[in-house]
Amino acid sequence: MRTRTLALAAATALAATGLTLPLAAGASAAPAGATPPTKADFNGDGYEDLAVGVPGAGVGGKAKAGYVSVVWGGPEGLRPKGAVRISQATANVPGTPEAGDRFGASVAVADFDGDGLTDLAVGAPGEDVDGKADAGNATVVYGTKTGFGKANSAGRGAKAKDSYGNALAAADFNGDKRFDLAIGGTDKVVVNYDPRAAKTEPGMGDRMGGRAPVLSTGDFDDDGLADLAVAYYTKQQPYTQSHVQLYRYDKQEKRLLLSWSNSNGATSAFATGDFNGDGLDDLALGNCREIADENIDDPCGPEELTKGGGVHIRYGNPNGSFGSRTQTLNQDTPGVPGVAEKGDGFGEAVTARDIDNDGFTDLIIGAPGEAIGSKKGAGSVTVLHGAKKGILDADDELGDGEADGYAFQQDTNQIPGTAETGDRFGAALVTGDYDNDGKPELATAAPGEDASAGGVWVSPDVLPPGTTTVTPKSLNLPVSSTALTYGAVLGH
């Protein structure tokens, strides 16, 4: 690993948001080419907060009713003291906790009402709506100086098993300087262009086999508007289909239209960033893999680079030809720590952040299936630095096409705990400046920790020294009849 000075401007870019809104008054400017930052600061005290969806938790005796755990930032970083739980039993939140609602199955953060405080969008795909089982619902809970206040439904499924809220993403798609909310459901994505009410418009629709789509946002065609990235697949004989697609807002049609599509591939996670510092948003596909029986267009790069999970990066292009330049890597790529092994799940979680303030976004990759010694599925995290040619820099001093990075896991010095079978360290990732010192922290989930009670490891400067933990025990969370898997859903 090259020696680097770790510093970052005080403003924060949350993982995979790709937001294209102007900075609020007083916010710090992002480096040239970086997407403007959003801070997950729900109470406006200047410290970012962490939202953790816990859809498997019981509420009021209702199994898997679900809640969101919000841990407040402060001078010492994330502090368990004063953490709150938001559920459908919370004052002002619409609905009633019911078994299987899975409130917190997805979480997104943005300032939806324009008051300068971050708001919380929560998906509950198991919510019954007007007697329609699992129609699903998305709720927005608004931040206030004292925590959280009013709330409203931002999208309700129209029929049984619509599963609205199994995925969420926020950005300004139509250019009106307000955040919109994309809501994933069964075989469709809808968009709410004013999440203060429950009216949704069609986004995209196709057969996803009942799976939650993978969503991200970014201005990939450099037209000044945020685009919506969607990945999904279905594998049901004789029907097999998989896509990674981009949708952009058409001002004449007044809706999102398909602008780019790549067939035959699927991904576990997206991360948006400017990895080569050219001012254009790029898209990283974590654990990219081919789904269909025939290789139609080599959607994930060379097949040998997907062993153990590969990360496929498509770079933005100013003339609209998104993804004409690509890079693919796995743990056998020069400069990437580790060895590619079947089941590693390298890229099942990805996030992006310029952690050293050099103008290049860096890529953080989770491999929750990684074996540490004989401990299968213990998990690990890899950090790869961006450079002028991207994550693989052909002109880098390390060599032709090498990566520059480092990795850590629970057996790494100064990481609390011990790597154990099934911990799944790295299953979810998000960054934030929780102590407001101008440097980022990385929150890494290990949902299998402690018999699947779960937990989150918080690493200052995205390095092991000073790492602390947030666990159900430290938060005094109530005992649940089902595994909490705390950290499996992290807000971004």
Burial class (CB in 10 A: 0-12, 13-18, 19+), 455: buried
- What is the band of 287 on the pLDDT scale with cuts at 50, 70, 90? very high
Q: Bigger pLDDT: 15 or 222?
A: 222
Residue bearing tokens 């971050």: 118
Instruction: Give the pLDDT confidence score for residue 302 in this predicted structure.
Output: 85
**320-367 pLDDT tens trace:** 678 889 999 999 999 999 999 999 999 999 999 999 999 999 999 999
DSSP character at residue 238: T
Contact 352, 284 (CB under 8 A): yes
In a domain, 124, yes or no: yes
Residue type, 214: V
Instruction: Give the pLDDT confidence score for residue 400 in this predicted structure.
Output: 54
**176-188 pLDDT tens trace:** 999 999 999 998 9
In this predicted structure, the answer to whether residue 32 has a pLDDT above a threshold of 70 is: no
In this predicted structure, the answer to whether residue 16 has a pLDDT above a threshold of 90 is: no
Max Cα distance, the chain (Å)? 62
Instruction: Give the pLDDT confidence score for residue 394 in this predicted structure.
Output: 67
Structure tokens, 477: 């969370």
In a domain, 4, yes or no: no
In this predicted structure, the answer to whether residue 36 has a pLDDT above a threshold of 60 is: no
In this predicted structure, the answer to whether residue 21 has a pLDDT above a threshold of 50 is: no
Instruction: Give the pLDDT confidence score for residue 129 in this predicted structure.
Output: 96
Instruction: Give the pLDDT confidence score for residue 239 in this predicted structure.
Output: 66
One DSSP character per residue, 325-344 reads SEEEE-TTSTTS-S---TT-
In this predicted structure, the answer to whether residue 296 has a pLDDT above a threshold of 70 is: no
**193-236 pLDDT tens trace:** 999 999 999 998 877 877 899 999 999 988 889 999 999 988 77
% residues pLDDT > 70 (the chain): 88
- What is the band of 295 on the pLDDT scale with cuts at 50, 70, 90? low
Q: Bigger pLDDT: 4 or 222?
A: 222
Contact 303, 297 (CB under 8 A): no
Least confident of 137-151, 202-216, 259-273: 202-216
Tell me the CATH number at 327.
2.130.10.130
Structure tokens, 286: 């974590």
What's the average model confidence in pLDDT over 255-267? Answer: 90
Nearest CA-CA partner of 268 in 201, 215, 199: 215
Phi, psi for residue 452 in degrees, rounded to 5:
70, 20
In a domain, 395, yes or no: yes
Burial 306-320 (b: 16+ CB within 10 A, else e): bbbbbbbbbbbbeee
| Tally of CB atoms within 10 A around 202 | 11
Task: Report helix, strand or coil for 304.
Answer: helix
Least confident of 117-126, 154-163, 204-213: 204-213
In a domain, 176, yes or no: yes
Contact 41, 73 (CB under 8 A): yes
**375-427 pLDDT tens trace:** 999 999 999 999 999 999 865 554 458 999 999 999 999 999 999 999 999 99
In a domain, 38, yes or no: no
- What is the band of 297 on the pLDDT scale with cuts at 50, 70, 90? low
In a domain, 348, yes or no: yes
Task: Report helix, strand or coil for 449.
Answer: helix
In this predicted structure, the answer to whether residue 241 has a pLDDT above a threshold of 60 is: yes
Instruction: Give the pLDDT confidence score for residue 26 in this predicted structure.
Output: 28
Instruction: Give the pLDDT confidence score for residue 37 in this predicted structure.
Output: 47
Least confident of 16-25, 171-180, 253-262: 16-25
Tell me how many domains the chain contains: 1
Task: Report helix, strand or coil for 451.
Answer: helix
Instruction: Give the pLDDT confidence score for residue 410 in this predicted structure.
Output: 97
In this predicted structure, the answer to whether residue 293 has a pLDDT above a threshold of 70 is: no
Supply the Cα-derived Rg of the chain in whole angstroms: 21
In a domain, 13, yes or no: no
Instruction: Give the pLDDT confidence score for residue 27 in this predicted structure.
Output: 29
Instruction: Give the pLDDT confidence score for residue 385 in this predicted structure.
Output: 97
In a domain, 24, yes or no: no
Residue type, 93: V
- What is the band of 480 on the pLDDT scale with cuts at 50, 70, 90? confident
Q: How far apart are CA 333 and CA 304, in angstroms?
A: 10
Contact 449, 472 (CB under 8 A): no
Regarding beta strands 214-218 and 489-490, do their DSSP bridges make them parallel or antiparallel, or are they unpaired? unpaired
What's the average model confidence in pLDDT over 120-149? Answer: 97
Give the range of the structural domain holding residue 116, as residue numbers without chain letter. Answer: 50-490
Q: What is the mean pLDDT of the chain?
A: 88
Note the residue count of the chain: 492
Q: Bigger pLDDT: 205 or 311?
A: 311
Identify the bridge partners of residue 141 per DSSP, sorted by sequence position: 120, 151
Instruction: Give the pLDDT confidence score for residue 25 in this predicted structure.
Output: 27
